Chain A
Amino acid sequence: MNAIEKVGSYSMLMYRTFAIPDRWSMFFRSYSKELKKQGLDSFAIVLIISGFIGAVITIQMVLNTSNPLLPDYATGLAVRDTLLLEFSSSIMCLILAGKVGSNIASEIGTMRITEQIDALDIMGVNSANYLILPKIIAFMSIIPCLVVFSMFFGILGGYGIAYFTDVITVDKYVYGIQFMFVPYYVTYSIIKGVVFAFIIASVASYYGYSVKGGALEVGKASTDAVVNSSIIILLFNVMLTQLLLA
């Protein structure tokens, strides 16, 4: 299947997905399950990665910007802006593409090869709408929390370095993270996160839904979902940065 055909079948799947649910009660039941599975279960990995990356960025900044021309607070400022502008949205979503994307693709792919999706279709259920819509909406609605959570723990990781080591003082770090703070950067990061969440959930669902074959193909679909959603995220990152910041 060439790229144009894939875009076409992805669009048709999304057309079927974004229909009014047959039963709102069933939708909200699936939605709450997905919120837990994709959102709450991702908080731990976001906390660990953000905390450690915040700490490492702080150390790297101190070591690589030890220039008398640069003010002391530059480290805190650079850590904050790196986290707010890129890490907590783009890089975190690339990581979540691996966790959430592969989970969605393998779950839907397994349902496809075990005829569970055929069973839904035979019952007269819009299987795309029933299976995919709650996943997309749940991930898009939990991602702002994950992005803000990641920012907070990234900055906290840097604070931990300032507190427990002598590479930078706490006062300088805290001054730096407050210096010339632009609240719009948080909004910008959340907007990017929501767009990327849509890409991750929808692309992974597409690859899972279109699996043909057996377990081997489910594994391949899972890998393809992660690789392709990562590439699309990087492409949209450039476009959104140009659109929202330039």
Chain B
Amino acid sequence: MIEVKNIYKSFDGVPVLKDVSAVFETGKTNLIIGQSGSGKTVLMKSVVGIHEVDRGNIIYDNRDVTRMRGKEKNRFRREIGMLFQGSALFDSLTVLENVLFPLEMFSDDTYEEKVERAKFCLERVDLLRAVNLFPSEISGGMQKRAAIARAIVLNPKYLFCDEPNSGLDPKTSLLIDKLVQEITHEFNITTIINTHDMNSVMEIGENIVFINKGEKAWQGNKDEIYDTGCKPLEDLIFASELYKKIKHAHNMNL
């Protein structure tokens, strides 16, 4: 479980996160949603440690990471896997080498054992056929899957996904969402997904934190989202005609 307590973050004196508190549960897909510029990416990057918060605490299973420094923080980070918006695969390495990289860096297993583990993860994301290809030679969806394989290869306790569906078609987006959810349940990971894809919200939103203008405006799950009483959230979720119809059907119990 990851607990965020009253975190405040500003850039050049401009507050972006204003005393945000939230709980992200283990074994669930936790979603951070919000409009562009609402502060959701800053919240995620603060939780993962890319940004240092001005004040507040970030507690990973009773460990306060805001107090960690240097090597202790680096050791702790090995428990984290992250899927970046643009995949962030290393261009000069093949898909297999990308997935092997964390193992080569931190595992004391033999090379054969490392390759076996990497291939297991690639098989899990259905990418064994692309092991010898470079990131530039595979599609965006395959890059995302390769990045997921790299993120889970060290058996992380925490998985962060920054807009995993950006640039993907709806079908591939759904596959990625389902894959992340399956992995979360299978390995009992605390997964946090930063998204503004409403399909993801409706499909895998087991715990949703809505950020509006740097503040937490609502927290709940996908079943509670139809009747939140939170106008900014409703404006975001039910902005399109399709979702207005879905909401109407839901309210009519159709």
Contact = CB atoms under 8 A, between A and B. Distances in A.
Is the A/B pair a real complex? yes
A187 interface: no
A9 to B, nearest CB: 15
B105 A23 contact: yes
Given A115-B88, A118-B50, A118-B88, A125 B82 contact: no
B80 A22 contact: no
A114 B88 contact: yes
A124 B88 CA distance: 15
A109 to B, nearest CB: 13
Interface in B66-108: 73-78, 80, 82, 84-86, 88-91, 101-102, 104-106
A119 interface: yes
A153 B165 CA distance: 56
Interface residues of A, number: 17
B48 interface: yes
A41 interface: no
Contacts of A122: 48-50, 77, 80, 82, 160
A70 interface: no
A22 B90 contact: no
Given A22-B105, A23-B104, A126 B85 contact: no
- Chain A interface, DSSP helix/strand/loop, else mixed: helix
Contacts of B48: 122
A121 interface: yes
A123 interface: yes
Residue among B78, B88, B89 with the highest chain A CB neighbour number at 10 A: B88
A123 B74 CA distance: 8
A26 interface: yes
Contact of A118 (B84, B89, B106): B84
A205 to B, nearest CB: 16
A116 interface: yes
Contact of B82 (A23, A110, A114, A119): A119
Given A116-B90, A124-B75, A26 B105 contact: yes
Q: Which 5 interchain pairs have the tightest Cβ spacing?
A: A124-B77, A115-B88, A119-B88, A124-B74, A124-B78
Interface string A102-137: 000000001100111011011111100000000000
B88 A123 contact: no
B80 to A, nearest CB: 6
A121 B50 contact: yes
Interface in B37-83: 48-50, 73-78, 80, 82
A23 B76 CA distance: 17
